[in-house]
Amino acid sequence: MRSLLSPPALKPGDRVAVVALSGSPGKQEVDLGLAALRSVGLVPEVFPSVRSVGPYPYLAADDKVRAEDLTRALGQPGYAAVFCARGGYGVQRVLELVDWQAIGAPQPRVVVGFSDVTALIEAVRTHLGWVSVYGPMVSSVMFRTGVPSFEGLARLLLTPEKVTELVFQDTRVLVPGIAEGVTVGGTAALIASSLGTSTSVPARDGILFLEDVAERNYRLDRVLTQLRRSGYLDGVRGILCGTWEDCGPLAEVEQLLADRLGDLGVPVLLGADIGHGVFMQSLPMGLRARLDTEAATLTFAEPALVAGE
C-alpha cells in the first residue's frame, strides 16, 4: 500500500482546532480539556460546534455547522491539529456534507479522537492520506492535566520520536505470533457502519485494532460477522483487541472473539488498554507497526508525527 503522510509533530505555541462532530460536550468538561491543552503549550481554538445546540439531543450542532467546522479545521492554514471534543454519534452525517474537493490537499495535521471518530479517521485516511491518532477526546476525564492517558497523548503529539512502542500489561493471546502491517480500525460497530461507503478502509495488509462499547452479544456478533462476510478482514495481517466496555461478561465476549477472529490464520492479541472504560493509550492509525503477541507489544516502524520544521 502507498505510504500515508505523517503530520508534523506539535510544538508549544501551535494553534489547534477543537470541534464537536458528534454528541454535545459539557462546557465544564471542555474547559478542563482546554486547560490540559494549554498546560502543554498548545493554543486551542474552540469551534462553533462545541458551543452549539443540535437538531436532536444526540447531535452537538446542525450538520451544516459541524461540517463547516470540520472543513475549516482540516483545510484552513494555521491549525496544527484537530481535536474532537466528544464521541457519541454524528460523524457519518458530517461526512455526507464535507466537500473534500474544497478542502483540497492542505498541510497534514493530526486528527485526534476515538469511538464515533473512527469514521473520521477512516475518511481522513481515504481522502487526505494522513496518519491520525486514536486517542482520548477533549471533554473526557482521560483528557486532563496529569492523567496518564492525556500525558501519553501529549508525549505522542509533541515528542513522537520518543514513542516507539506500546506495551500492554494485561493481555491474553488468542492466536500467537508476530505480524507487521499498517494500523487500521477502531470501534467495531463504527467500522461496520462505514462498510459500503467511500470512506471505508479495509483491513488488508493491516494490523487491525478493534474495541467497542455497549453492544450486546448478538449485536457484536452481527458486527464481526459483517466484517467477515464483507471481505473487510481479507488479507489482514494481525489483530489487536482493546476494551469491550458494557458488552456483557468479558469471558463471553472473548469466546465470541475466538469464534469470529480466531480462524483467520493471523496473530490475535486481546486486552490492550485502548478504548472505552479505561485510561487509554493513544494508538496512531495508518502507521506501519509490528504486533508481537508474546511480548504484548506494538512497535512502530517510524514516528507517528514528523519532528522539526
Catalytic residues: 115, 211, 276
CB of 243 to a copy of itself, least distance (A): 20
Min dist. Cβ of residue 90 to a copy of itself (A): 8
Strands of the sheet with 110-113, listed across from one edge: 43-46, 15-19, 81-84, 110-113, 132-134, 283-285
Q: How far is the CB of 224 from a copy of itself (least distance, A)?
A: 10
Nearer to a copy of itself, 38 or 229 (CB): 229
Cell numbers for 61: 450542532
- What is the sign of the dihedral through the CA atoms of 75, 76, 81 and 82? negative
Instruction: Quote the least distance from Cβ 89 to a copy of itself, whole Å.
Output: 4
> Which residues are paired to 175 by β-bridges?
268
Ordered DSSP codes for 81-145 = EEEE---SS-HHHHHHH--HHHH-SPPP-EEEE-GGGHHHHHHHHHHH-B-EEE---TTSTTSST
Which of 234, 294 has the CB closer to a copy of itself? 234
The residue among 42 and 91 lying less far from a copy of itself, judged by its C-beta, is 91
Three-class SS state of 6: coil
User: How many Cβ atoms from other residues are within 10 Å of residue 24's Cβ?
Assistant: 23
Which residue, 39 or 225, has its beta carbon nearer to a copy of itself? 225
Grouping H, G, I as helix, E, B as strand and the rest as coil, residue 162 is: helix
Q: Compute the distance between CA of residue 284 and CA of residue 289 in angstroms, rounded to an integer.
A: 10
Taking alpha carbons only, the member of 289, 292, 308, 286 closest to residue 300 is 289
Contact 61, 88 (CB under 8 A): no
> Is the Cβ–Cβ distance between 106 and 136 less than 8 Å?
no
Least spacing, CB of residue 197 vs a copy of itself, in Å: 4
Nearest to a copy of itself of 148, 231 (CB atom): 231
**Continuous segment of H or E residues that includes residue 154:** helix 148-158
Contact (CB, 8 A) for 132 and 122: no
Name the residue nearer to a copy of itself (CB basis): 225 or 299: 225
Q: Which three cell numbers mark 209?
A: 485494532
Which positions touch a copy of itself (CB under 8 A)?
Answer: 55-58, 88-89, 92-93, 95-96, 192-200, 217-219, 221-223, 225-226, 228-232, 256, 259
Output the nine-digit C-alpha cell for 58.
444526540
The least CB distance from residue 62 to a copy of itself, in Å, is 11
